[in-house]
Amino acid sequence: MGLLDLLFGNKTKKIQDFTSRDAVILDVRSKAEYNSGAIPGSKHIPLQQVASKISEIKKWNKPVITCCASGMRSGSAAAILKSNGIEAMNGGGWQSLYQKL
Protein backbone atom coordinates (compact mmCIF):
# COMPACT_ATOMS: atom_id res chain seq x y z
CA MET A 1 0.00 0.00 0.00
CA GLY A 2 1.51 3.31 -1.08
CA LEU A 3 1.45 6.60 0.77
CA LEU A 4 -1.31 7.98 -1.45
CA ASP A 5 -3.42 4.87 -0.80
CA LEU A 6 -2.91 5.41 2.93
CA LEU A 7 -3.92 9.06 2.70
CA PHE A 8 -6.78 8.81 0.22
CA GLY A 9 -7.74 5.13 0.12
CA ASN A 10 -7.36 3.00 -2.97
CA LYS A 11 -10.10 4.30 -5.26
CA THR A 12 -9.57 1.55 -7.85
CA LYS A 13 -10.20 -1.16 -5.24
CA LYS A 14 -13.28 0.64 -3.96
CA ILE A 15 -14.60 1.01 -7.52
CA GLN A 16 -14.03 -2.73 -8.07
CA ASP A 17 -15.88 -3.50 -4.84
CA PHE A 18 -18.83 -1.32 -5.87
CA THR A 19 -19.00 -2.73 -9.41
CA SER A 20 -18.83 -6.31 -8.08
CA ARG A 21 -22.05 -5.44 -6.23
CA ASP A 22 -23.73 -4.16 -9.43
CA ALA A 23 -23.26 -0.45 -8.67
CA VAL A 24 -25.02 2.17 -10.76
CA ILE A 25 -22.81 4.77 -12.46
CA LEU A 26 -24.50 8.15 -12.00
CA ASP A 27 -23.25 10.99 -14.21
CA VAL A 28 -24.13 14.38 -12.72
CA ARG A 29 -22.90 16.62 -15.55
CA SER A 30 -25.20 18.86 -17.62
CA LYS A 31 -27.29 17.34 -20.40
CA ALA A 32 -25.03 18.85 -23.07
CA GLU A 33 -21.91 17.46 -21.39
CA TYR A 34 -23.49 14.03 -20.99
CA ASN A 35 -24.66 13.97 -24.63
CA SER A 36 -21.13 14.77 -25.82
CA GLY A 37 -19.80 11.53 -24.30
CA ALA A 38 -20.51 9.29 -21.32
CA ILE A 39 -19.90 5.85 -19.83
CA PRO A 40 -22.14 3.33 -21.62
CA GLY A 41 -25.01 2.24 -19.38
CA SER A 42 -24.58 5.13 -16.96
CA LYS A 43 -27.60 6.99 -15.63
CA HIS A 44 -27.80 10.77 -15.99
CA ILE A 45 -29.14 13.13 -13.34
CA PRO A 46 -27.62 16.65 -13.31
CA LEU A 47 -26.21 17.64 -9.91
CA GLN A 48 -28.92 20.29 -9.41
CA GLN A 49 -31.60 17.55 -9.59
CA VAL A 50 -29.94 14.87 -7.43
CA ALA A 51 -31.55 15.97 -4.13
CA SER A 52 -35.03 15.95 -5.69
CA LYS A 53 -34.49 12.45 -7.14
CA ILE A 54 -33.44 10.72 -3.88
CA SER A 55 -36.56 8.53 -3.71
CA GLU A 56 -36.01 7.38 -7.31
CA ILE A 57 -32.32 6.64 -6.62
CA LYS A 58 -33.20 4.68 -3.45
CA LYS A 59 -35.46 2.43 -5.57
CA TRP A 60 -32.38 1.28 -7.52
CA ASN A 61 -31.37 -0.48 -4.28
CA LYS A 62 -27.73 -0.55 -5.42
CA PRO A 63 -24.53 1.28 -4.49
CA VAL A 64 -23.88 4.37 -6.60
CA ILE A 65 -20.64 5.63 -8.17
CA THR A 66 -20.98 9.29 -9.11
CA CYS A 67 -18.96 10.95 -11.88
CA CYS A 68 -18.75 14.29 -13.67
CA ALA A 69 -16.06 16.12 -15.66
CA SER A 70 -13.40 16.58 -12.96
CA GLY A 71 -14.73 15.09 -9.74
CA MET A 72 -16.01 18.25 -8.03
CA ARG A 73 -19.73 17.91 -8.84
CA SER A 74 -19.63 14.14 -8.36
CA GLY A 75 -18.13 14.70 -4.90
CA SER A 76 -21.06 16.93 -4.02
CA ALA A 77 -23.51 14.39 -5.43
CA ALA A 78 -21.92 11.52 -3.46
CA ALA A 79 -22.18 13.60 -0.26
CA ILE A 80 -25.89 14.29 -0.93
CA LEU A 81 -26.54 10.59 -1.54
CA LYS A 82 -24.62 9.50 1.58
CA SER A 83 -26.47 12.04 3.73
CA ASN A 84 -29.70 10.41 2.54
CA GLY A 85 -28.60 6.89 3.46
CA ILE A 86 -27.49 5.75 0.00
CA GLU A 87 -24.18 3.91 -0.30
CA ALA A 88 -22.23 6.14 -2.68
CA MET A 89 -18.70 7.03 -3.70
CA ASN A 90 -17.15 9.75 -5.83
CA GLY A 91 -15.76 8.12 -8.97
CA GLY A 92 -14.25 11.43 -10.12
CA GLY A 93 -14.01 12.44 -13.75
CA TRP A 94 -16.03 10.21 -16.07
CA GLN A 95 -13.16 9.52 -18.48
CA SER A 96 -10.74 8.33 -15.78
CA LEU A 97 -13.53 6.32 -14.14
CA TYR A 98 -14.32 4.66 -17.49
CA GLN A 99 -10.69 3.55 -17.75
CA LYS A 100 -10.87 1.99 -14.26
CA LEU A 101 -14.02 0.04 -15.10
Q: How do strand 24-27 and strand 64-68 relate by DSSP bridges?
A: parallel
CATH of the domain at 87: 3.40.250.10
Instruction: Give a yes or no: residue 5 inside a domain.
Output: no
Q: Which pLDDT tens digit goes with each residue over 62-88?
A: 999 999 999 999 999 999 999 999 999
pTM: 0.90
Position 21 scores a pLDDT of 95
Judge whether 92 and 67 are in contact, CB under 8 Å.
yes
- Tally of domains in the chain: 1
Instruction: Give a yes or no: residue 3 inside a domain.
Output: no
Name the residue range of residue 90's domain: 10-100
Half-sphere exposure (Cβ direction) of 63: Cα atoms closer than 13 Å: 16
Q: Check residues 11 and 41 and name the one with the higher pLDDT.
A: 41
Query: How far is Cα 40 from Cα 8, in angstroms, rounded to an integer?
Result: 27
Strand order in the sheet with 43-44: 43-44, 24-27, 64-68, 88-93
In the structure, what pLDDT confidence band is assigned to residue 1 with cuts at 50, 70 and 90? very low
In the structure, what pLDDT confidence band is assigned to residue 13 with cuts at 50, 70 and 90? confident
Instruction: Give a yes or no: residue 2 inside a domain.
Output: no
Task: State the average pLDDT for the chain.
Answer: 92
Instruction: Give a yes or no: residue 69 inside a domain.
Output: yes
